[in-house]
Structures are given as C-alpha cells and as structure tokens.
Structure 1
Amino acid sequence: MHSNLLMQCRRQLLIWIKSLIDTECAYTKVELREDFDKLKLECDNLKNETSFLRTNFLELIDNCKFLIDQTTEILIERDNYYSEWEFSRNILTPRPDWNKCSHLITQWKNLSLGKTSEQLVDILINEINHENMEKKDTEYFSMMINNKNELSQKNMFIEQLCIDISSEEKFIKNRHMRRRITGLLIKEIWSNKLFDENRLEEKTNIKLTDYVFDYLTKRFNSKEIAIEICYNIKDACNRYQNRYEINLFWQILTGQIEENVYYYEMKEFARILQYLIKLCPHSSSQSLLSTIRWSDLVTALHELYPNWTNERISLLIIAAERDLKQSSKERNDLEFLLLFTEDDEGHIGEFLMTIRQQLKLDKIEYIEKIKDLLIGYPLISINQFKQAVELVDPNISKEELQRYINWVFELEKISLTSNKEAILSKTNENIQLIKQIQKRDFEEIILRLECCSCFMH
C-alpha cells in the first residue's frame, strides 16, 4: 500500500520536473516586457531621426545644386564682364602693345622689364641706332666654302650657295632686306611653290630645299642674282628669327623642321574656314560680308575639336572678339571671313594664332604619350618607335607612320649619303637593311619628333 503510494508520488514528481524543464527551455529566449518596450521606443526614435536626417540631406543636395548653378552663372558673368572691360579699355583708352616689339628685338622681354613707356621708347631708339651701325659695318657677305666632309650635314639649298675651296674668295652684296620685304618674298615663294606643284601632272611634292634656288634663278633670270638673294634671305631670316612665319620658313629651308608642319597648319585653317562657310546661310557667296552667329562659331569649334575643353574654346572666342573688335555678347553676327585674313607679309590674326597655340598643345601631349612609352631605352630602333606610335595613335595610316619614321630616323638623308659615298648599293634590300639596323638616341628621337608634323589621327 505504501509502496504504491510512493511510486505514484515519484511519477507525479517526475512529471512536474519535466514540465519545469520544458517551461525553462521555452522561456530562455523571451525578453522582459519592460525591456521590449524600451527597445521599441529606441527603434521608433531612430526611425524618426533617420527620416529627419534624410529630409535634411535632400534639402542640402538641392541647396548645393542651387549654389553650384549660381556659382557657374557668376563665373560666366565675371568672364563676360572681363571681356567687356578689356574690349572697352582697348577702345576707350588705346595704348601701345609693347609686346609686339618682341617680334623685332631679341630679348625684348628682358630689356623692357620694369620700364616706363618713355624708357621703352629710348630702348627702341637705341636698338634702331645699333642696327643701323651694324648695317654700315656689313656691306658684303663672304661666300660659304663647300666642305666635302660636311656634305651629309647640309641640304641642297646650302650646297648651292657654297663655292669650292680652290675657288677665289667672293663677296655678296648685302641688300639689308627689311622685315616686310622678307615676308613678301617668303609668301611669294610659298604661293608659287604650291602653284607649281598643282600644275604638275603627277601632283608630286617638291621639297622647299630643292625649290627656292631654282625658283629665284628662274624669277630673276640670273644665277648670280639668285645667289645674292639667297644670302640676303639667310641674313634676314637670322635677324628676324623672332617672327614666326620667317623663322619657320628658314628652319624648313635648312632642314631643321619638317616641311609638313607648314602645310598642316594651312590645312587646319582651311578646314575651319570651310566648316564655317557651310554654316553660313549664303554659303555660295564669297563676300567678306558673309556672317554667322557667335553661338554657331562656338558649336563649330566644339565639333571640329571635341577634345578641347571649354576653357580652350573660350580663348578662341576672346581672340575672335579682339580680331573683330566686337563682343560675343552682342547680338550682332560676326563676319567670320575676317578671322582668316592675313596681311601682305603673311601675318595672321589673334584667332588663327590661338588656333596654332592650341594645336601645339595637342602636339606636346601627343609627343609626351610616345615619350612615356620609349623612356628608359638609351637606343631606340625603328620597330620600337613604330610600336610606340601605333599604341598611342592606333588610327594612323601606314603612309603617315612611314613619314614619321623617315623624318625621325633621317632615312632619306642616310640613303642619300650612302649613295654619294658609294658605300652601299641602291638595291631595295640594302635600303631595308639600313632601316632595320638603324638606331637613334632617345633624346634625338624626341627632338626630331618635336620638329615633325605629328598629331592624333
């Protein structure tokens, strides 16, 4: 009896123990109601703060965009005020542009530094007197001597002006050619050269070094006068080397710069002009009164040079304003053909000069990319140079690439020298062998490339 009762009590105890264990297991993850309420309150507060911060953030974004727009408008307005101020200053208070003297007087920037207008006039007078004294001392030139050991370093133009060592010393009269006469003669040579090239049936390019002496001989119908003019051209180009057109002509004539540099500039100027003519409502008319809108000029420049920044385009617009003496903010149309006029010496306006400067910046950037690929190699082969150019300019044609190689490695000069000295035969195999083994110093490559007409295709 007692044993049965004891067994029932034990069973009941086990049941309660199991129930207690199950209850403890079931309530292990249960939080207190008080803690839950606190957490819920904190969560609601965080949600409200997040919503408030998001609203403030969106308002700040709108305010920031508004400030950016306002700043942009202020900068544009500032640039416009500056352009109008500069334009008005040039009209209302005209002053001499002393920087123009830098084209005539060497080291003008150093001479004119910190000087007043009166002192600058004195400097000009001294330079003129000094030039006149030099003219009195140099009435004749002595002819250059033909040194056969230096034939490889001379071009056809220089060679035609030299006399043999065995010949008697001769003197050439110094005509003291002025800058204007020099510019006119250079412009005449370029014009007639282009005319003669177009007149040929094969449309071949005549080298300037081969053309000048023959043209002057034909023009004056005398070889002696042609030699005299050539010596005077040499003297004038050295005296007026600060003038871009004169210096470029002389450097091309003496083989220091590739002739295509001149033609590339002319082609770019013509490309811009033709594009603007198409925008003109009366494009068939060749009158100087043909006009377009200023906005059309800006759009055209962006389309012609898509890689140029707004700042670079704005420089062109400012230059055009100076050439035309009017502001782009005026609603008047611009007579764009006046931007492409030049004087009788071949000097161009500020607009085309700025185009030339921007093209030079593109060329410097182009050369820097090639330089980065070649740097580190003391000697560079033709294949290495070719690969670097193709990586930088993948759209370059084979003809253009060969033109680069011919100029940079002076292949034509090497071939000519070899033929003169009878060292190598004239077979194509030997010429190809020269091209394969020819190597040049890294610095020479870059210097030659800077004197070449190179650009992104």
Structure 2
Amino acid sequence: MAAQRVAKLPPLAVGGSDMSPRAMKGYEGLTGPSYQLVSTGSKYSLPSPGVLQPYVDTRSGALDAWPAHAAGQTTSSTALVPHGSTSVKSYSRKPLVKEEDTGKGVPKPKFLDQLENFLKKELRALGCPDSGPSELRLQAHREVFEYLIEDFKTYKPLLSSIKNEYETMLAHLRQQIRDLEPLKSMLVTVSEQCDQKILKIREQEKQEMVDLRRENTGLYRKIMGMSEQQQNLQAQVNKLREELSEQYLRYRDECDARKLLVSDINDLRYQAEDLQKAASAGSVGDPQDDPIMMRVALKQARVDLKKMSEELIRMKADYGDVVPRRDFEMLEAKHNALLETEGVLRDQFSKLQQEHDTLLEVHKQVLQQRDEFYTQQETLRRSATPRPDWDKCGDVVDGGAERWAELTKETTSDQKMDALLQELQTMKDAASDKDIPEFFEGRGFKPDVPAYLRYEGQVRNRKLAKRDLAIVIKDVWREKAAHDAGKAKPTKLENYLLMYLEKRFNLEPLVAEWGYNIHDACTRFHQSENSINLFFSILKGETDEGIYHQQIDLLSRLLSHFAQKDVSLGTQGMIPKEEFSAGIAEFFPLKEPESIQVLVQAAEDELDTQGGPIPFKLLFTEDDEGRTGPFINRLRDQTKSEREAYVDDIQAALGDVSDVVVEDVRKAFLTADPEIDQPEIDMFLGRAFGVDKDKLEKAKSTHTTKVLQRLRTGNIHRVGKKP
C-alpha cells in the first residue's frame, strides 16, 4: 500500500534535476529544503530484506526511509505529501526518528551496505591486493558500478556515459602503452649501442691520455728545471748589482777626491804664478804682466774652455756613429765585390748539387750491385769452400742416415755441428742413464703434490731425451695458447699440463707416466737449456708465466719493426749494419749504447756478416728443439739483467724495512720509475702481493724479501728512463 502511494507522486525536483522515488533509495540528501515530511498517522510494514537484495530488486517506487530502519523506536510514520493542492510543488520533511538517535554510529543505507559487502567479498575471493593498481580490483569495482547504474534508472544514461568515457580513455592509454613498448626496446638497444661506442672511444683515447700525461710530466720537469735556472740567474744578477753599486760608490768617491786634489793643485799653481808675475811686474813694469789683467784673461779662458768642452761633447754625441765618407765608399765597393762573388758561388753550388744528386743515384745503383755481388760471392764461397762430408755422421748417431738427414735438412754447417754435438751428448746421457731406475714411485694424492704427479703405484721411466722434451714443451705451449685465447685469466701451467696429458692419453697410467717423465727430464736438462729452464720454473710456480708470453711478444714486435724498416729502406731483407743498430735503438729507447753494440755484435757473429748487410729474418729462427741463436739469447739475458736492476732500484727505494704495505711499494715504484702510469703500477703490485689488482686494498702487510722475490720472478719492466 505504501509502495503504491509513493509511486503515484510526481517526480521530485532536487537541485534542478528529476529524481524518481526509486532513485531516492539510499539517498542521503533528503534533508534538503525542497522536501517536507508529513506524518500520515498510518503505519505500514517495510518490505522484507529478501525483496530488497541488491541487483535483484527491480520494482520502482519503494522508498528506503533511512535511517529509520535502524534507529530503534519510531515516533510516527512519515510520508511525502503535498501542501494545499494535489499539485505537489514543495515538500516538507520531518524526521522519522528522534534527533538523539541520529548521532555517531548511525549505520549506512542497506543498499550501500550490501554493495560494499559484495565488493569486499569479491575482492577477497579474487585475492586482490589491498592497495595499488590491479586489473582484478578494477574489474570488481567495474561490476559494482554496473549494478549501481542498473539500479539508478534515472541517472543511468549519465553514469553510463561517464563509465564509457573512462573505459575509452583506459583503452586509449593501453593502446599507447602497447605502441610505446617497441620504442622502449629500441631505446634500450640504442642506449647499449651508445655505451659501446663510448667505451670504444675511451679505449682509443686511453693511450693518447697516457702519452699526454707522460708528456705533461716531462714538460713539468723541464719547467721546474728552467725555474731553478732562472732563480739562480736572478740571484747572480742581484749579486752583480750589489757589487756594481759598491764599485760605483768607490769610483765616485775616488773621482770626487781627485777633482778636489786637482783643484787644490791648480789653485796653488795659480798662486805661485801670480806671485812670480807680481814680482816680475814690480821689477820690469810691463803692463802686459798686470796680475789683474792676467786674472781676467784666465777667467775668460776658462769660460771659453768650458764652451769648447761642451761643444766637443755635443759633436761626439752627434757624430760618434758617423763613418767618414772615404771609409764608406771603400766598404761599399767591397760589398759590391762580395755580392758578385756570392752570385758566382751560388751558380757553382747549384751545379755541384746537381752533380751530387747524380752521384747519389749512381751510388745507390752501385750499392745494389754490391749487395747482389756479395750474395753471389757468399754463394760461390759456400760452394767453392771444401766442405766436410756430413753424411758420415749418419753412421754414428742413433737412427742412422735417415734420421741424420732429417735432423740436418736445410741447416748450416754450424747448426749441423750443434746437432752432432747434441746427439753425442744424448748418447753420453743414455750411457750414463743405465744406472737410472726403470720405474718411478708414485707420490700419492696429497695436496702438496702437483696435479700432474698425483698417482699411486709404479710408473715406467721412458728416459726422455732433450730433443723429445723440447718437442713436447713446444707442443704444450702451442696448445695452451689456443686454450687460453679469449680468456681473462690464463690457466695455471701445472693444471693445464694435466689437461693436456689427459687429452692426449685417455688412460690414467699413461697420463701419470708422461707426467713423471716430463718432470724427470726437466729436472735433468733445465740447467743446460734456457727454454726448458723457463718452462720448468713456470711449472713449479717459481716464475710468472707472463715472462714467457712477454718474450714471445717482444720477439714478434721486434721482427715486425725490422720488417717495416726493411720495407721503408727497400733493402729486400738485407739491412745495413748502421740501420740495424739504429733500428734496435729505436725499438729499445731505454737501452744503453753498450748493450745495443753487444746485440749488433751477436747478430754479426751468428750470421758471419763481418760488417756487411744483416739478413735479419735468420736471427728469429729456431731449430726443432726450440734453441735460438746468440742474438736472441743475448737479448733475453739483457732483459733479465734489466729486470734485476729494476728490482734493485725498488729495493733501494724501500730501504731497510722488514714488512711493507701496498702504499710503500707504490711509492718505491714511483721513485725508481717516475714515468710509470697507474695501470702498470696496479698490475705490478698485484704480482708483488699475490692478489688481483682489483683487490689491492685488501692486501695485507708482507715481508720485504718475499715481495722482492715475487717481483724478480714476475713480468715487470721499466716504463720510463732511469732518473
């Protein structure tokens, strides 16, 4: 009955918009001035809760008189009734509950409460986060908003339009995000490319910065030296000024004293003359000898003398630099004669220069012919000189004539003699090896045993010869270089030797057998061969492996340097002795002239050139056992001596201290080698303290003897000239 009564009322005007009774459900603005609640005096019951369930109640006209349903006692039923006539223009509203019941804690409208409960239930069921953006939370709120739109019929178009605008904008923003995703990927790619370009540019500028820093240091030292020299010169100038001032004072005093003395002498002389003239005038009576006239004449003579002196001084000042015309004409004639002579000499010089250029061309052609004749002479000398019958040695060495022919293929007489001596030494060693046991005893698997020697049981002794050991060592180095290519840190030689043997021999007994035999052969031959000694020292961990790679790199760069010099000179592999010496000096700017002369002499002795052109490529060859000539041996000895001298300078800079830290050794490096740069110091310090250069800050104090020993066996070298 109440529902039908309310449904017949006209729409209510609230704030200028229509609002149906259905839309008043849950509305909290019923206290506005446009409504008046009038008690009807009749009571009617509210619909049951099941009828007003959210999203189910579709009946129109039911008014939820909130908060009367939860206020407890009601004073009277209220309803909206018109005033005066049937046409409702204004409404008055009276509360359905007491004012004291509408304080704090008043519950929400049923519809709002049910919507909030439904939203909480949905969010809990979907497992949505409590805050933050989420698609599931948006979907749950979207459903609640849909139900709200469906329930408010009058505002449905406006709310739907609002919802559509929001959905359209969300779709547009999602599309923009999808469109910007490729741009984001492209931006990341471009950023990586730019970073790579920046790194390349920095790497290119790194060497230039090092050179500029080194040049800056040199200029700074030069400026300091010039400043000291300037200060010394200024001190000398100040001292000379003081001496000149003193000398001038003495001279002025002496000059003044002399003038006074001369004046006194003149006065005395004048007085004497006056007395003499007065005496003679009194006796003779000559009017010309009148003292007064003589005094006036003397005064006038002095005035004239002063004028003449001033005139003479002025003439000297004006014409002191003037040459007499006779001297000028004589000098001019001499100058013209010299000009003519110079023109003749210039013509003669031009002709002589042309003749000189012609002679240089002829000299160059003669040098070419001389080199060709020298090569032919060497060939003829080798073929014409009686040669020993080297084939007879095949009957003595092991393997017979075939092995001897293989050993001496394309070798000189000197190399054949070395091969014969080596074979005789091998035979001697084999004869002395009869007392060597036939088996080695395995050392077990203790941690202090090298990896390639960890084995238990007996191992056969192969009694490797020096040549076989040298071949194995060359193969190990070659395989290790390929294995370590591209790696930041090379594999330790002890561990790689085990990997090499396991790769060559799959069986563990053979791996142990070759490991023990290589170790035994290195022990027997390391004192007689530099290459074996270096390999064995690196294998035992006593020497840094970088020394071997530094030697190989040094020889490679030196050969390239000579090849470039050969191309620039056009000598076709035969560099003259002077150019060869100059090339060594250019490549080793820190070497002393005596050391360069030793290398040149070793090259001449090795190739037997006797002052002639040097075929430099033959100096960088080795035999099948890895042995090199005197030139490379001298070069290696000098490198080792220079490293020892460098470490001695560092030791002298450290002083008599027992323990050192990183900063102490850094200062010693800068004292012994002021031109060294920071990366080189960090690498050398890492070697000295046995840590990576990135962990130098964590390096502990170490005994000085241990630090110096590591430097002596490490790959260190002087960067700049010795101070």
Q: TM-score, normalized by length of structure 2? A: 0.39
* Of 276-285 and 339-348, the range deviating more from structure 2: 276-285
> For 1:294 and 1:217, how far apart are their aligned partners in 2?
49
Deviation for aligned residue 1:305: 1.6
> For 2:515 and 2:705, how far apart are their aligned partners in 1?
32
Check if 1:141 corresponds to 2:440: yes
- Decide which of 253, 260, 263 is 2:549's aligned counterpart: 263
Q: Which residue of 2 aligns with 1:290?
A: 573
> For 1:212 and 1:125, how far apart are their aligned partners in 2?
30
Aligned runs of 1:157-172 on 2, under 5 Å? 158-163=450-455, 169-172=456-459
Check if 1:221 corresponds to 2:506: yes
Deviations 1:159-184 (A, max 9, x none): 34224xxxxx5011110000000011
Q: Bigger radius of gyration, 1 or 2?
A: 2
Check if 1:371 corresponds to 2:651: yes
Tell me which amino acid in the other structure corresponds to 2:468: I
Tell me which amino acid in the other structure corresponds to 1:373: A
Check if 1:189 corresponds to 2:476: yes
Q: Which residue of 1 aligns with 2:32?
A: none
- Stretches of structure 1 that go unaligned for 5 or more consecutive residues are 1-18, 28-90, 95-123, 164-168, 413-427
Deviation for aligned residue 1:293: 1.9
Relative to 1, partners in 2 of residues 1:293 and 1:284: Cα closer, same or farther, differing over 3 Å? closer
> For 1:346 and 1:208, how far apart are their aligned partners in 2?
19
Secondary structure of the structure 2 residue equivalent to 1:141: strand
Secondary structure of the structure 2 residue equivalent to 1:252: helix
Secondary structure of the structure 2 residue equivalent to 1:371: helix
> For 1:25 and 1:453, how far apart are their aligned partners in 2?
95
Check if 1:312 corresponds to 2:595: yes
Deviation for aligned residue 1:350: 0.5
- Decide which of 175, 180, 183 is 2:462's aligned counterpart: 175
Secondary structure of the structure 2 residue equivalent to 1:345: coil
Aligned runs of 1:8-407 on 2, under 5 Å? 22-23=264-265, 132-148=431-447, 151=448, 158-163=450-455, 169-198=456-485, 200=486, 202=487, 204-242=489-527, 243-281=529-567, 290-328=573-611, 330=612, 333-407=613-687
Deviation for aligned residue 1:392: 2.4
Query: Percent identity over the alignment?
Result: 25
Contact kept? 2:686, 2:696, Cα under 8 Å: no
Q: Which residue of 1 aligns with 2:170?
A: none
Contact kept? 1:276, 1:300, Cα under 8 Å: yes
Tell me which amino acid in the other structure corresponds to 1:271: R
Contact kept? 1:380, 1:440, Cα under 8 Å: yes
Tell me which amino acid in the other structure corresponds to 1:244: N
Tell me which amino acid in the other structure corresponds to 2:480: K
Contact kept? 2:584, 2:596, Cα under 8 Å: yes
Secondary structure of the structure 2 residue equivalent to 1:280: helix
> For 1:444 and 1:245, how far apart are their aligned partners in 2?
25
Q: Which residue of 2 aligns with 1:6?
A: none
Deviation for aligned residue 1:256: 0.4
Secondary structure of the structure 1 residue equivalent to 2:580: helix
Secondary structure of the structure 2 residue equivalent to 1:186: helix
Deviation for aligned residue 1:277: 0.3
Give the alignment's Cα RMSD to 1 decimal. 3.6
Secondary structure of the structure 2 residue equivalent to 1:145: coil
- Stretches of structure 2 that go unaligned for 5 or more consecutive residues are 1-260, 270-384, 389-422
Relative to 1, partners in 2 of residues 1:25 and 1:261: Cα closer, same or farther, differing over 3 Å? farther
Deviation for aligned residue 1:290: 2.6
Q: TM-score, normalized by length of structure 1? A: 0.60
Relative to 1, partners in 2 of residues 1:364 and 1:191: Cα closer, same or farther, differing over 3 Å? same
Relative to 1, partners in 2 of residues 1:126 and 1:258: Cα closer, same or farther, differing over 3 Å? closer
Deviations 1:94-133 (A, max 9, x none): 9xxxxxxxxxxxxxxxxxxxxxxxxxxxxx9999768635
> For 1:237 and 1:302, how far apart are their aligned partners in 2?
36
Contact kept? 2:452, 2:495, Cα under 8 Å: no
> For 1:271 and 1:251, how far apart are their aligned partners in 2?
25
Relative to 1, partners in 2 of residues 1:300 and 1:404: Cα closer, same or farther, differing over 3 Å? same
Deviations 1:230-269 (A, max 9, x none): 1111100110021111011011011000001111111111
> For 1:26 and 1:231, how far apart are their aligned partners in 2?
122
> For 1:373 and 1:26, how far apart are their aligned partners in 2?
81
Secondary structure of the structure 2 residue equivalent to 1:411: coil
Contact kept? 1:282, 1:290, Cα under 8 Å: no
Deviation for aligned residue 1:219: 1.8
Relative to 1, partners in 2 of residues 1:182 and 1:275: Cα closer, same or farther, differing over 3 Å? same
> For 2:433 and 2:667, how far apart are their aligned partners in 1?
52
**How many residue pairs get matched?**
309
Relative to 1, partners in 2 of residues 1:26 and 1:355: Cα closer, same or farther, differing over 3 Å? farther
Secondary structure of the structure 1 residue equivalent to 2:574: coil
Deviation for aligned residue 1:193: 1.2
Deviation for aligned residue 1:344: 1.0
> For 1:278 and 1:255, how far apart are their aligned partners in 2?
38
